[in-house]
Amino acid sequence: MKDKIWLSPPHMSGEEITYINEAYNTNWIAPLGPNVDGFENDIIKYTNAKFASALSSGTSAIHLALIMLGVKPSDEVICSSFTFSASVNPICYLGATPILVDSENDTWNICPKLLEQAINQRIEKGKLPKAIIIVHLYGMPAKMDEILSLSDKYNIPVIEDSAESLGSIYKGKHTGTIGEIGVYSFNGNKIITTSGGGMLVSNKESYCKYSTHLATQAREPFPYYEHKEIGYNYRMSNILAGIGRGQMKVIDERIRARRANFRFYQQNLKGSNLLFLEEPDGFFSNRWLSCIVTKSFEQREDIRLALEKENIESRPFWKPMHLQPIFACHPSYLNGVSENLFEKGLCLPSGSNLSDKDKNRIVNIILNTINK
Ligand SMILES: *Cc1c(COP(=O)(O)O)cnc(C)c1O
């Protein structure tokens, strides 16, 4: 059997171990310490976010963002339907109701037209949504100008789920730094990883201070433990933050490699009638995953199974949340875009450590399958 090719494996720089050793040798084996501060500063410098709070996961960052925006039981929160479940789960942790909104075809992210319809109908039904969670899926920025103008018009804050889009840029600004609060993930499959981890960023200091407070059990500054509100154990470990610092040394190289994967697939699969998502003017995607849209469900499955037979991992696009058994009961505003993408879309191996030889193997299998 040929060596397994993974969809999006970790890719260490070699520098991580220095920071891990430092943590070990100085006994900072805790969810605080110099690496945590250092990693926050690395992210601030890189993204131009003003403030940051390092957390245990992207999911916990979304959870804290919703708490800080005042989401309470029976409130409504709008969320992009075409995403990973971790965008929506925290809404439910709080007993609030997700309102799911479909995508547009230019970026595959939340459709601004449908978003406005959803807001208006929710208001008619008696509730102004408390927040809008938008997602920059697979690294492609969402249409932020249109989204922010609705956010201003109706006075609803935007949380940017940038778990997949660290390093992606929208009209000169890093995704994650454009809305009220941004969220990054450093899970094992993301563009850089701390094995597991997340970051909440904002241009308002109050959110990041409050996030770190809530993430450390909401302890008040007393000699004994004093608590005025419910806290969480969501802070990032100093060991894992050390991995993050080592990864930040090579973030630009990682983005270059992911973008080169995309270009390779696009060029070498030209003429195959597979659809690749182009970047609109002013949009820069980190191309976290290289995605193709095939002509039919059957063709998608043929390609996926042919790759699987050769020990190559690929994956259908995210199954939209309004189609998920657990979320199907919630209100949704649909136009067919995400369902069509789910039916025909496939994520190809996209690791920044993918070799040209592997990419050629993958392309040949795809071409053979299509031309069979
Ligand atoms: C990975 C991911 C998350 C969750 O991040 P974790 O760090 O795994 O909790 C949230 N949203 C999207 C879109 C993701 O891809």
Distance in Å, CA 57 to ligand 1 centroid: 8
Query: Ligand 1 pocket, 86 CB below 6 A?
Result: yes
- Per DSSP, the chain holds a count of helices (H) and strands (E) of 12, 14
> Does the pLDDT value for residue 2 go beyond 90?
no
Residue nearest to atom 8 of ligand 1 (CA): 187
Distance in Å, CA 223 to ligand 1 centroid: 36
- Cβ-in-10-Å burial (0-12, 13-18, 19+) of 2 comes to exposed
Angstrom distance (rounded) from CA 5 to CA 28: 36
4: left (phi over 0), alpha (psi -120 to 50) or beta: beta
pLDDT tens, residue by residue, 212-232: 999 999 999 999 999 999 999
pLDDT tens, residue by residue, 309-362: 999 999 999 999 999 999 999 999 999 999 999 999 999 999 999 999 999 999
Query: Ligand 1 pocket, 366 CB below 6 A?
Result: no
**Total-model pTM:** 0.97
pLDDT tens, residue by residue, 157-175: 999 999 999 999 999 999 9
Residue nearest to atom 5 of ligand 1 (CA): 58
Pocket test for ligand 1, best of 43, 56, 64, 87 (most atoms within 8 A of CB): 87
Distance in Å, CA 84 to ligand 1 centroid: 7
**Span 84-100, average pLDDT:** 98
